[in-house]
Structures are given as structure tokens and as C-alpha cells.
Amino acid sequence: MNKLIKIFTILMVAVMTVGLAACGATETAETGDPLSNDPYRWNKIFKEYRDDADVNQLVFVAGTEGSEAEMFLYVKDPSDNTWNRELETRCFVGKNGIGDASYCANITPEGVYGVSTAFGIKKNPGTSMEYVDFNDSDLYCCGCQDSEYYNQLIDAKKTGHKDCEGEHVIDFSPEYNYGMFIDYNSENDPEEDYAIFFHCEGMKEFTGGCIAVPEYAMKQILQKCDSNVKVCIYRRGE
């Protein structure tokens, strides 16, 4: 090889290596990747919680089209407070997408939410969150708008609330094999929606306002998250 060509080749390889390294450097959670088309929203959330010692996991639900969305789980590295993406999957949201939810509107509520409890028909997969055993035929999530129990998990026998028109949770398998109750409508306002859960996928490619991910992903979310996790739900590009 001619010496000049050799030097040129070495230079090109060096440039390409630097180039690749630079690309690699931009592909960190801090830039919002893979939400690179609309990094502002997600970067703002990353920054907001980076120095919040209580919040160590972020679950992003990014709506793409209709009831289709993507889910990303980020876990904080305590050594330098950076976010590492540990899980990503497609997921489904309400039939009418993400937005301003209300009673039976089939809309997944937009915003940043905490989690009140985890639950499941299957046994606790090892989450540190409070875990409600849904394998109990007396348990309902009340959807009766005129009831004092609206939007609450209740034991029909203990409360005496008979003929509840809400969800008999044990009937929702595989959806409720694992899940968590997000704190949307924590005031239990009857004009707002009820039983807004983060749960496993069933047969449908949409939900009634919940977020549905594959069961393996739901299980991992429970295993990797604590009760201070934030669930951030927005449409992409907004």
C-alpha cells in the first residue's frame, strides 16, 4: 500500500471510529432516545427526577397512533444519577388514545402518575410494592357512579356492596395476571374514569383506558420498580 493511501486509510478509520463513538454518546437516555423526534417532553422528565432521591424508575408510555403506544422503562444508576433503559416494548392504550380521560371514555389519561399498589391473579413475582392478591372471588373494582366505593378495590362480602357493576377482577385473566393501580382519579370522582390499571395484554389491541403490555414486561416492571415509580403518559410529538 502506498504510504499516502495508508495514512489516509488510518485517518478515515479514526474519523469513522470517532464518529461512531459520538453517535454512541448521543444514544443515552439523557437525550431522550429512542424518543428522539420529541425529546423535549421526555428530557424534561429525566431532568426533573434525576436528582430526586425518591424516584428511581420512570415508565414512559409514548402514544404513537390510536391505541398503539411504546413503553420504555428507565432505571436510575445510583452511582451517577443517569438513566438506563432496561426494557422497551410495544403496548396498547385506550381505544380512543391518550388524552383527557373521563367516565367510560376509553381514553388513557395523559400525565405523570404514581402507583398506589401492585396486584395480580398470579402470585407476587417479587415486587417490593404492596401487592394485592386478585385471586379472590369477592374482590371488585367498583364502577358504580353513585356508590361510596367508586373506583376502589372492595371486598363485596365485607362491604355488603352487592351486585357491583364494576370489574370482578378475578375474571380478567390474562389481563390482571400482573398489574399496578396508577393514581389517576385518586379522589374517586364519579365523572372521572375508574379502574385505570397498568396490566398485561389480553386478546384486544386496545384497552378501556388502561395501559397493556406483554405479560413478561409487566412482570419485569413489578420486579424492577418500587412504589415511587413514575408512570409518564403522553402522545409522541407533543
Residues at the contact surface with Zn ion, assessed by CB under 5 A: 142, 144, 147, 164, 166
Instruction: Give the position of cell 389480553.
Output: 202
Minimum distance from residue 176 beta carbon to Zn ion (Å): 17
Contact at 8 Å (CB) between 223 and 209? no
Identity of the residue, 77 or 138, whose beta carbon is nearer to Zn ion in the bound complex: 138
Burial code (b: 16+ CB inside 10 Å, e: under 16) for 170-188 equals bebebbbbbbbbbebbeee
Please state, in angstroms and rounded to a whole number, the distance separating the CA atoms of residues 185 and 84. 30
Minimum distance from residue 116 beta carbon to Zn ion (Å): 18
Please state, in angstroms and rounded to a whole number, the distance separating the CA atoms of residues 217 and 66. 21
Identity of the residue, 142 or 233, whose beta carbon is nearer to Zn ion in the bound complex: 142
Identity of the residue, 86 or 165, whose beta carbon is nearer to Zn ion in the bound complex: 165
Q: Which of 73, 76, 104, 78 has its CA nearest to residue 91? A: 73
Minimum distance from residue 194 beta carbon to Zn ion (Å): 9
Q: Between the CA of residue 208 and those of 71, 167, 184, 229, what are the distances in Å?
A: 18, 12, 14, 23
Contact at 8 Å (CB) between 51 and 221? no
Minimum distance from residue 143 beta carbon to Zn ion (Å): 6
Minimum distance from residue 83 beta carbon to Zn ion (Å): 40
Identity of the residue, 92 or 194, whose beta carbon is nearer to Zn ion in the bound complex: 194
Identity of the residue, 121 or 142, whose beta carbon is nearer to Zn ion in the bound complex: 142
